[in-house]
Amino acid sequence: MKKLNILYILIISSIFVFCQKSNINKESQPLSQIQSNLTSKKEDSVIVPTTNMVFLIYPSQKTVDSLKLSLGDDFYTIADDANYYDAQIMEYLDSLHIPYINVSDSIQLVLRKKNNPDLMILKNNVNPWYAILYNEDLHRYKISNLVDFTSNYKNFYSSKIKSK
């Protein structure tokens, strides 16, 4: 009975610690401010604020259902790998204090910058999991696969990194 009580206390304590850690990360991330500033242009479009940031694209439920049909059990292996790389990318971006947003592939992203034409981001039809890097100064974006994200990130923002 004592062992059961100790196990119960450990479980409750770990839940409390993880919840506290999660709240700290949310407060230190400018992500919550960015998400609250998102405005809807159309039902399937989002206009995002103009700042350097990364969009991590994940498949919508419709895409997931289609992938499950076409890939069978391989879908779960691919999804697991994508989630691993996605987590690595988020950890990397958090370490650099770079804002990022997870976005469904069903949403058409439109980037707006004053005195510039809107940028409608073309979707990547090759891979349902990918990242979009946005450079506000250049008002340009780059699509990156998750595996090569770090090197693509460094190359895309190299002028920014060198100037700091």
- Is residue 15 assigned to a domain? no
Q: One digit per residue, pLDDT tens: the chain, 164 residues? A: 555 445 445 444 444 444 433 333 333 334 444 454 444 444 457 676 667 899 999 999 999 999 999 999 999 999 999 999 999 999 999 999 999 999 999 888 888 787 888 888 888 778 899 999 998 888 889 999 999 999 999 999 885 544 44
As a whole number of angstroms, the distance between CA 123 and CA 45 comes to: 13
As a whole number of angstroms, the distance between CA 6 and CA 13 comes to: 10
**Res 71: pLDDT:** 94
- Is residue 70 assigned to a domain? yes
**Res 10: pLDDT:** 45
**Res 31: pLDDT:** 47
Q: Which helix (H) or strand (E) segment is 100 a member of?
A: strand 100-104
- Is residue 139 assigned to a domain? yes
- Is residue 144 assigned to a domain? yes
Residue range of the domain that includes 76: 29-163
- Is residue 16 assigned to a domain? no
- Is residue 38 assigned to a domain? yes
Domain count, the chain: 1
- Is residue 114 assigned to a domain? yes
**30 alpha carbon, distance to own chain's centre:** 14
As a whole number of angstroms, the distance between CA 107 and CA 121 comes to: 10
- Is residue 5 assigned to a domain? no
**Res 88: pLDDT:** 97
**Res 33: pLDDT:** 45
Report the relative pairing of strands 100-104 and 53-58 from DSSP bridges.
parallel
Diameter over CA atoms, the chain: 70
**Res 41: pLDDT:** 42
